[in-house]
């Protein structure tokens, strides 16, 4: 009986040892991948900081209003530091996932595949959002200046409308790209945008008939009789 | 350059004098301009070989046909004899960005091909041009050894406000030469200067449009060419000016000035004093047509700018300057005044912001328009009762402020 007992224990221990011996190289591979990942992330972070400083990314962000948004949100990092940190943690995350993958645990394999398939979409969506925001700021500013120079009293409202329209459009595109409730998002955007345009059309056409008439008359007069304007000043 | 145009130039061979007339839908005035130029050439340079080139931007009103048609049938009517050599007249369209600068480029190219000794360009919308203008623009180059002639006009006190409030004082303070009308539009230049202009790759920028005038003047001064000015009398031009919208005009001129500041920063940082330039021509007083100016509208535009553009201006201007602007916006129309120092500070701050790219450059310059209109409104209000000489004194005083504050510009330019 004791022989059988002994054999069972030894057999079990051997099987455990065998599994440990099979698992150990994977564990070492994971640790190595993590260490290399951390090293690469650190190097990439340093390179990015130098690169962004060389192209004066902080100044550009200041000009585009990104730095202001960060400070308003209570983020004390500079845009350069923030972006470098972002890529640092992305590389760490990838290294971690690769490390887990190296363990060859069946349950994690599918999840990891799905994660890597999703990653390009995530980056594309972030890109769309950032570019959309920057275009929104740029065109909003352009609209504001043009409206002031056209002496429109509601210049700021027009500027905000342009800015928000482009930001919401990019947000919609980003979410659509991620595949999150695609149909709902497109329908929501179409209904909202269509509703706004319809509301403005009704408001301007019905509520502001006199204003619209006056505006069109003024526009028509300007086209016909440019020379009869009150200013005959030659600027150059 | 078109092949037919090149062939025409080759047939002519060489010329002593070349007059360029850029045009776009100027049928009402260009006939008078061509006649004045032909008369001037016949009267003052009868023995010289001369070519007139009309560089047209695709007129649809018959401008080109008018130039071809116009002749002086009997030179005795302008008290001169027929010129020894026939005056060649060429009409050619220009290509590239539509604008005055592109038209000038064709004229420079023609000057090089024809090996012209002295050239002049005159606007095609002038109503006050006389044959004497031709002499005054060409003789300093043809006979006196100068390289560049800038015009000097008798203008209405409210005319040329970009010139009076920005371009003249700034150019004078920066480059040290008191060229009173650096963007006058009618210039004389030697053939080698035309050749030098062509070596520059600027024909896709604002220089191809309204920036050409200040570009030509600045290059002539900063590159060490001999510069003078000629008094031409009154400048009266056609009321219909196809490119007379303030926005593009202001943006193109001011951005060209700021861009040139970057190009010639090593030069202007060393300039400490200003000198007058030799002036030709007999100066006299002229009666000028009255100009109506809507000061109230300009003040409203300025106030709207203070209300809505302050966020943008703050990126370029100091705290004291923005406070000054806010104070101005609260003034009534009767009290409205733009202090000279504040204006100069603003111009220098915008130049620095342009240089450092603090804001998108086009946005920066366009956002300056309400400030400029505020300055014009203040100027008009202050000088409504002033005589021409009193207004000139006021402009001189502004120039001195620009010169006094130049050191602060140099310090912050870096």
Q: What is the ipTM of this complex?
A: 0.86
Q: Which residue of A has its CA nearest to B214?
A: A236
Residue A119 tokens, joined: 């990653």
Q: Which residue of B has its CA nearest to A155?
A: B308
What's the pLDDT tens digit per position in A94-110? 898 888 888 877 777 77
The count of CB pairs under 8 A between chains A and B is 88
- pLDDT confidence tier of residue A71, bands split at 50, 70 and 90: low
* Nearest CA-CA distance, residue B210 and chain A, Å: 9
Pairing verdict, β B118-121 and B187-190: antiparallel
- Sequence-ordered strand ranges (E) for B200-352: 227-234, 275-276, 279-280
What pLDDT is attached to residue A231?
57
Rounded to whole angstroms, the Cα distance separating B140 from B132 reads 13
Q: Please answer whether residues B230 and B187 qualify as being in contact, where contact means their C-beta atoms are separated by less than 8 angstroms.
A: no
Pairing verdict, β B177-178 and B118-121: unpaired
Rounded to whole angstroms, the Cα distance separating A165 from A159 reads 10
Percent of chain B with pLDDT over 70: 98
- pLDDT confidence tier of residue A228, bands split at 50, 70 and 90: very low
Residue B397 tokens, joined: 């005083």
Q: Do A63 and B237 touch (CB under 8 A)?
A: no
Which candidate, B204, B205, B203, B258, places its Cα nearest to that of B368? B258
pLDDT tops 80 at residue A189: no
What's phi and psi for B223, nearest 5 deg? -90, 5
Pairwise pLDDT comparison (B68 vs A231), residue with the higher score: B68
In a domain, A131, yes or no: no
Please report the residues numbered 308 through 327 in chain B whose beta carbons come closer than 8 angstroms to any beta carbon of chain A: 308-309, 312, 315
How do the domains of chain B map onto residue ranges? 3-280, 295-382
In a domain, A24, yes or no: yes
Rounded to whole angstroms, the Cα distance separating B182 from B187 reads 9
Pairwise pLDDT comparison (A100 vs A233), residue with the higher score: A100
Rounded to whole angstroms, the Cα distance separating A117 from A134 reads 27
What pLDDT is attached to residue A232?
63
How far is CA B397 from its chain centroid? 21
What's the pLDDT tens digit per position in B272-288? 999 999 999 988 877 77
Number of H helices, E strands in chain A: 8, 0
- When scoring A60, A162, A233 by the number of chain B Cβ atoms within 10 A, the one with the most, hence best to mutate, is A233
How far is CA B162 from its chain centroid? 10
Query: Per the structure, how many domains does chain A have?
Result: 1
pLDDT tops 90 at residue B219: yes
Which candidate, B139, B37, B130, places its Cα nearest to that of B88? B37
Residue B256 tokens, joined: 């060209």
Instruction: State which of A204-213, B84-93, B183-192, B289-298 shows the largest mean pLDDT.
Output: B183-192
pLDDT tops 70 at residue A164: yes
What pLDDT is attached to residue B221?
96
**Of 3.30.70.870, 3.90.550.10, 3.40.50.2300, 1.50.10.20, which CATH number belongs to B3-280?**
3.90.550.10
Number of H helices, E strands in chain B: 19, 10
* pTM of the predicted protein model: 0.81
Structural domain harbouring A77: 1-104
| Helix H or strand E encompassing B398 | helix B388-404
What pLDDT is attached to residue A184?
76
Average the pLDDT over B175-181 and give the result: 96
How many beta carbons lie within 10 A of that of residue B267, not counting itself?
A: 18
HSE-up (13 A, CA, CB side) for residue A85: 8
- pLDDT confidence tier of residue A225, bands split at 50, 70 and 90: very low
Q: Please answer whether residues A126 and A79 qualify as being in contact, where contact means their C-beta atoms are separated by less than 8 angstroms.
A: no
Lowest mean pLDDT among A6-10, A190-194, B334-338: A190-194
What's the pLDDT tens digit per position in B363-405? 999 999 999 999 999 999 998 888 888 999 999 999 999 999 9
What's phi and psi for A106, nearest 5 deg? -55, -40
In a domain, A87, yes or no: yes
pLDDT tops 60 at residue B139: yes
- pLDDT confidence tier of residue A222, bands split at 50, 70 and 90: low
In a domain, A235, yes or no: no
What b-and-e string marks burial along B223-232, b requiring 16 or more CB atoms within 10 Å of the CB?
Answer: eebbbbbbbb
What Cα–Cα distance (Å) separates residue B10 from each residue in A181, B6, B65, B115, B117? 71, 6, 23, 11, 16
Pairwise pLDDT comparison (B237 vs A161), residue with the higher score: A161
Strand partners, B237: B126
Pairwise pLDDT comparison (B78 vs B19), residue with the higher score: B19
What Cα–Cα distance (Å) separates residue A212 from each residue in A215, A219, B266, B361, B363? 5, 10, 54, 34, 29
pLDDT tops 70 at residue A56: yes
- pLDDT confidence tier of residue B242, bands split at 50, 70 and 90: very low
Q: Please answer whether residues B162 and B372 qualify as being in contact, where contact means their C-beta atoms are separated by less than 8 angstroms.
A: yes
What pLDDT is attached to residue B79?
64
Q: What is the signed CA dihedral for A146, A150, A151, A152, rounded to 10 degrees?
A: -70
Instruction: State which of A60-64, B90-94, B337-341 shows the largest mean pLDDT.
Output: B337-341
HSE-up (13 A, CA, CB side) for residue A178: 17
The secondary structure of A16-46 as a DSSP string is HHHHHHHHHHHHHHHHHHHHHHHHHHHHHHH
What pLDDT is attached to residue B243?
40
Which candidate, B97, B106, B361, B123, places its Cα nearest to that of B208? B97
Task: Please tell me if residue B296 touches chain A, with a CB cutoff of 8 Å.
Answer: no
pLDDT tops 90 at residue B313: yes
What pLDDT is attached to residue B359?
87
Write out chain B residues lying below 8 Å of A236, CB-based: 160, 162-163, 167, 183, 185, 210, 213, 249, 253
What b-and-e string marks burial along A131-147, b requiring 16 or more CB atoms within 10 Å of the CB?
Answer: ebbbbbbbebbbbbbbb
| Helix H or strand E encompassing B52 | strand B50-56
Which candidate, B144, B127, B149, B145, places its Cα nearest to that of B19? B149
* Nearest CA-CA distance, residue A46 and chain B, Å: 26
């Amino acid at each position: 009986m004791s022989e059988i007992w002994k054999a069972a224990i030894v057999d079990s221990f051997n099987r455990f040892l065998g599994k440990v011996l099979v698992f150990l190289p994977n564990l070492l591979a994971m640790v190595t991948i993590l260490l290399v990942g951390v090293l690469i992330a650190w190097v990439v972070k340093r390179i990015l900081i130098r690169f962004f400083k060389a192209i004066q990314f902080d100044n550009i962000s200041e000009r585009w209003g990104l730095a202001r948004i960060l400070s308003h949100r209570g983020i004390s990092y500079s845009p350069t530091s923030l972006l470098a940190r972002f890529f640092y943690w992305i590389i760490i995350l990838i290294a971690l996932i690769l490390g887990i993958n190296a363990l060859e645990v069946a349950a994690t394999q599918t999840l990891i595949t799905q994660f890597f398939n999703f990653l390009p979409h995530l980056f594309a969506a972030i890109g769309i959002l950032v570019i959309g925001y920057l275009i929104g700021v740029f065109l909003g500013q352009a609209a504001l200046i043009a409206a002031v120079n056209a002496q429109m009293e509601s210049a700021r409202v027009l500027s905000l409308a342009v800015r928000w329209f482009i930001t919401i459009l990019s947000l919609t595109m980003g979410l659509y790209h991620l595949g999150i409730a695609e149909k709902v998002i497109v329908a929501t955007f179409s209904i909202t945008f269509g509703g706004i345009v319809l509301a403005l059309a009704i408001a301007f056409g019905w509520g502001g008939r006199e204003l619209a008439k006056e505006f069109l008359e003024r526009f028509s007069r300007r086209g016909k009789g440019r020379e009869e304007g009150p200013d005959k000043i030659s600027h150059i | 350059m078109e092949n037919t145009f090149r062939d025409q130039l080759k047939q002519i061979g060489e010329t002593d004098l070349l007059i360029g007339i850029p045009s776009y839908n100027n049928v009402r005035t260009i006939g008078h301009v061509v006649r004045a130029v032909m008369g001037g050439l016949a009267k003052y340079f009868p023995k010289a070989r001369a070519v007139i080139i009309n560089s047209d931007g695709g007129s649809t009103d018959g401008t080109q046909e008018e130039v071809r048609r116009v002749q002086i049938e009997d030179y005795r009517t302008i008290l001169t004899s027929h010129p020894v050599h026939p005056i060649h007249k060429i009409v050619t369209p220009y290509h590239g960005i539509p604008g005055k600068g592109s038209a000038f480029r064709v004229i420079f190219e023609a000057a090089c091909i024809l090996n012209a000794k002295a050239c002049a360009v005159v606007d095609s919308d002038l109503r006050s041009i006389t044959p004497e203008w031709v002499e005054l623009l060409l003789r300093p180059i043809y006979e006196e050894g100068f390289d560049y002639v800038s015009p000097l006009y008798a203008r209405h006190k409210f005319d040329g406000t970009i010139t009076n409030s920005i371009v003249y004082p700034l150019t004078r303070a920066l480059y040290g030469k008191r060229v009173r009308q650096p963007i006058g539009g009618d210039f004389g230049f030697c053939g080698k200067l035309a050749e030098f202009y062509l070596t520059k790759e600027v024909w896709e920028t604002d220089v191809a449009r309204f920036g050409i005038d200040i570009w030509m003047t600045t290059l002539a001064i900063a590159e060490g060419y001999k510069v003078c000015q000629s008094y031409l009398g009154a400048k009266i031009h056609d009321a219909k000016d196809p490119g007379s919208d303030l926005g593009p005009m202001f943006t193109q001129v001011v951005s060209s000035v700021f861009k040139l500041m970057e190009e010639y920063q090593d030069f202007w940082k060393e300039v400490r004093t200003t000198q007058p330039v030799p002036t030709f021509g007999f100066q006299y007083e002229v009666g000028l047509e009255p100009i109506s100016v809507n000061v109230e509208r300009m003040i409203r535009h300025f106030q709207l700018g203070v209300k809505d553009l302050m966020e943008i201006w703050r990126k370029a201007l100091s705290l004291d300057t923005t406070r000054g602007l806010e104070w101005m916006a609260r003034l009534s129309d009767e009290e409205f005044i733009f202090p000279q120092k504040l204006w100069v500070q603003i111009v220098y701050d915008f130049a620095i912001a342009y240089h450092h790219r603090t804001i998108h450059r086009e946005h920066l310059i366009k956002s300056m328009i309400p400030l400029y209109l505020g300055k014009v409104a203040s100027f008009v209000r202050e000088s409504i009762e002033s005589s021409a000489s009193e207004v000139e004194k006021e402009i001189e005083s502004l120039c001195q402020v620009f010169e006094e504050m130049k050191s602060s510009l140099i310090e912050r330019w870096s």
